[in-house]
Chains A and B, each alone.
Chain A
Amino acid sequence: MTDGVPAVNIAHVSVRFGERVALHAVDLRVDRGEFVALTGPNGSGKTTLLRTLLGFQDPDEGIVEVFGRRVEELSVRDRARRVAWVPQSEPQRDDVPLRQYVLYGRYPFHGPLDRDSEEDREVATRVLSEVGLSDRADDGVLSISGGERQRAILARALAQETPLLLLDEPTTHLDIAHQLDLLSRVRALSRDRGVTVIAALHDLNLAARYADRIVVLSRGRRVADGTPRGVLSEDLLARVWGVAADLAVDARTGLPYLLPRRLIEEKPAAPASLSPGPVHVVGGGGSAAPILRSLTDEGYRVTAGALHLLDTDAETAEALGVVAAVEGPFAPLSDLTRQRHRLLLEEAKVVVVAPFAVGPSNLANLEDVRAFVHRVPTIVIEAPRDGSLDFTGGRATAAREALRAEGATFVPDAVAALLAVRSALSTPGHPTSPRAAGSQG
């Protein structure tokens, strides 16, 4: 710890499998005690990089050093005292008791004739408690749950007492609670015991939450490296994964998180100022969310209202960057909110009314739409005829019928509504959708 020798020093490492280049001149230096998340699309070289550190894969070029020693010069046993590995999963055929399974990790400390020592048993007890499995020590590995098994694998690796721990997508088979549990335990080990951790992780939000540093690989190259805040960006997701995402900052932790939206197939949508619209969507309770997404994906400028905070539609609108008139949770629409809503309606080139549940608190939405139905094309998605969305004793149904009487276009579903929006916004000589415009231009 004194001489400044890094835990890991990968210099100019290339690995080829026949024609395919798995790693291309990768440099990576990891200091002792760091928690590094290694991420990148499938096939980007994460696993190959970990395998070079384990000595499973000899690099075609470059050097791989662990605590100042070339990996290929270490014996298998010496390597196992420096580097431990937690795989994605492990084949389990024999139902050995958990404690014995964890003791397997003590192998590098034994000669062929040694029995398990007192120290081995102490280590096993300690690591089992560190992963929260003390009370399952005598249960068979086949009898515990998947989440517990992954923790057992971690315990087996920890029993090697190595200063470097490699994890290869350890959370792949776990539910969200177990993902958080496993990674926070690894995080704690790294902090409390100074263990250097390199974890290949698919989930960028988990990576941002637990790692000190994120290294991004793409097609065998290191394309980004730094703190979660410095690395995660909408641009990175677009470039490396081909995914359009929204970046936000968690107000409590101050950490960035990404909300993936869709695949970027061809060209990105036209810039906002040139986008047609706005299309105003009236909804609530999640009824408008799919329409909001479709419209933004097609490149329209979209507004929404009047929605209630905490409502699915409000959250969707926020995530999509849709301007919306929003009221407090469950409150009746205030005059101020209605005023904002009417402003949006006034600007709209088309209005879409989603089949939303109407109660006393949001009945005003339909009244406001009615005020503009003469001035802007209005597309109403049919609500169920049985009145199951009407919680106003028939007033909502009456309001919808009034819209029909005053010339609104009624369509059966969201797809038909989208088509109606396209034709409403298309003028002779202009393409019908902005996406089409993008690909023609």
Chain B
Amino acid sequence: MLVFLSTLIGLPDIAPRLGFQILAHQLSGGRLFPAACAGTGTSPGDCPKYTFLVWDLYLPEVLLALTVGAALGLAGGALQGVFRNPLADPFLLGISSGGTLGAALLYVYHIGEASADLFLPLFAFVGAVGTGLVILVVARGRYGSVETLLLTGVALANLLSAVLSLVLLYNLVGSEQVTFWLLGGLQLADWQVDGIAFGAVLVFGTLLCLYGRELNLLQLGSDVAQSAGVDAPRVRLRVLLLSSLVTAVAVAFTGVIGFVGLVSPHIVRRLLGSDYRLVLPGAALVGALFLLSASDVSYLAFPGSLLPLGIFTAFAGVPFFLFLLYRQRRTTTMGSG
């Protein structure tokens, strides 16, 4: 239903009835509404054009928004768990930036162009996982410290974007294509991209969701977790790798979309409590809905424009981030008993 609505929101030129018929026609394999455009006042000659718009252009965007939103929400929830830090998020920690750099290198230097759809996430993954490992090493032994973690992430994100700027500066050809990562958007969506993204997020995301119990125990500190049977270093490494993987998939196809990973787990925790067995799948769901809504709102607010989604999520996410920072400070001073 939401998918359907969102598809129509993205297409102001197409009447709801026409859009509905096209979707129903395609989904049912032609059994419903055998003539997709009949009875909508559309000339039969324009029907393939509209079908292309609805089915091959906008529906993949909607589905990609759901997939990427789920990936980011899940990665955010898992990273907040593994770093025991409510402010962790793939964007803030520089993991997204690492992925962007990896993907940008591929674009700029035309490596493996033939099957870019597969190579993109691969390169993004190398960048994202590399960044994640650096953070894990730097923040080692100080997982509780919000400051160390965020500063490491911010420093890395800055370094990585400096490297990215350098790469773009010396390679003006192809740099326009890269620019969209820095802003984040769904324009790359098509059925093949959706398939790769969905498959990867489904596999890695499911694996990630299996670490709920371990993340619950890690909240009590490595030592306690270890004494209760959790192999803390191994779990941390695996969760970080899987989070980087799903983040990499998102970054590869939609660029840097921040704050979805930060906001979604908090909403879930507020609704369902702090059990990571619920927080992880919940954050995926909320993230998917959050990103789709953001996309819808951006289409509604600026019809016809291609406002990058990353800008939009930042507008919603930054105030929330500041609110969390403020609240965290209050609870650490009050709850130190």
16 pairs across A/B with beta carbons < 8 Å? Answer: A56-B226, A75-B231, A76-B231, A80-B227, A81-B229, A84-B227, A91-B219, A93-B86, A94-B273, A96-B273, A97-B273, A104-B228, A108-B229, A110-B213, A156-B228, A157-B227
Which residue of chain A has the shortest Cβ distance to B279 in the bound complex?
A: A94
Return chain B residues, CB-CB under 8 Å to A97: 273
The digit string for B249-277, where 1 denotes a CB below 8 A from any CB of A, is: 00000000000000000000100011100
Measuring CB to CB, which residues of chain A are less than 8 angstroms from any residue of chain B? Answer: 54-56, 75-77, 79-81, 83-85, 87, 90-97, 100, 104-105, 107-108, 110, 112-113, 142, 146, 156-157, 160
Given contacts A76-B229, A142-B335, contact A87 B224 (CB under 8 A): yes
The CA-CA distance from A146 to B229 in the complex, in Å, is 25
Give the contacting residue for B275; candidates A79, A83, A96; CB below 8 A. Answer: A96
Which of B214, B229, B273 has the most CB atoms of chain A within a 10 A radius of its CB?
A: B229
- Structural contact, A54 and B226, CB atoms closer than 8 A: yes
Q: Is the CB of B337 within 8 A of A146?
A: yes
Nearest-Cβ distance from residue A198 to partner chain B, whole angstroms: 13
Does chain A have a CB within 8 A of B47?
no
Give me the 6 closest cross-chain CB pairs, A-B, nearest first.
A80-B229, A94-B274, A108-B229, A85-B227, A112-B210, A76-B231
The reply on B26 being an interface residue by CB < 8 A is no
Residue B240 interfacial (CB < 8 Å):
no
Q: Given the complex of chains A and B, what is the CA–CA distance between A92 and B221 in angstroms?
A: 9
Q: Which residues of A contact B335 (CB under 8 A)?
A: 142
Residues of B within 8 Å of A77, CB to CB, are: 229, 231
The docked-state distance in angstroms from the alpha carbon of A166 to that of B274 is 28
A94 neighbours in B (Cβ, 8 Å): 219, 269, 273-274
B236 within 8 A of A: no
Q: Determine which of A79, A90, A92, A104 lies in contact with B216 in the assembled complex, contact meaning CB atoms within 8 Å.
A: A104
State whether A96 touches B274 (Cβ < 8 A). yes
Establish whether residues B228 and A107, one from each chain, have CB atoms under 8 Å apart when the complex forms: yes
Alpha-carbon gap, A112 to B312, bound state (A):
37
Kindly list chain A residues whose C-beta atoms are within 8 Å of the C-beta of B223. Answer: 54, 56, 85, 87
Closest to B269 in A: A94
Q: What residues of chain A lie closer than 8 Å to B216, measured between beta carbons?
A: 96, 104
Interface string of B284-313 (1 = CB under 8 A from A): 000000000000000000000000000000
What is the CA–CA distance of A259 and B211 in the complex, to the nearest angstrom?
Answer: 51
Asked whether, in the complex, the Cβ of B228 is within 8 Å of the Cβ of A105, the reply is yes
Q: Which of A83, A100, A146 has the most CB of B within 10 A?
A: A100
Cross-interface CB contact of A108 among B144, B224, B228, B337, cutoff 8 Å? B228
Q: Is B220 an interface residue (CB 8 A)?
A: yes
Contact indicator B227/A83 (Cβ below 8 Å):
yes
- Asked whether B273 lies within 8 Å of A112 as measured between CB atoms, the reply is no
CA distance A84 to B228 in the complex (A): 7
Task: List B contacts of A83 (CB < 8 A).
Answer: 227
Q: Does B217 contact A (CB under 8 A)?
A: yes
Instruction: Give the residues in chain A near B274, CB-CB below 8 Å.
Output: 94-96
> B7: shortest Cβ distance to chain A, in Å?
35
| Contact assessment for A90 and B227 in the assembled complex, using a CB-CB cutoff below 8 Å | no
A200 → chain B closest CB, angstroms: 14
With A56-B227, A100-B275, A108-B229 given, can you name 18 additional A-B contacts, CB distance below 8 Å? A56-B223, A56-B226, A76-B229, A76-B231, A79-B227, A83-B227, A87-B221, A87-B223, A90-B220, A90-B221, A91-B84, A94-B274, A104-B228, A105-B228, A107-B213, A107-B228, A107-B230, A112-B210
- Max chain B CB contacts within 10 Å: which of A76, A87, A107, A110? A76
- CB neighbours (8 Å) of A108 from chain B are 228-229
- In whole angstroms, how far apart are the Cα atoms of A76 and B233 in the complex? 11
Complex Cα–Cα for A390 and B217 (A): 65
With a cutoff of 8 Å between Cβ atoms, the chain B residues found around residue A75 in the complex are: 231
Q: How far is the CA of A135 from the CA of B43 in the complex (A)?
A: 72
Does B217 lie within 8 Å of A107, measured CB to CB? yes
* A96 cross-chain contacts in B, Cβ below 8 A: 216, 273-275
* A85-B224, A91-B144, A146-B337 known; A76 vs B219 contact (CB < 8 Å): no
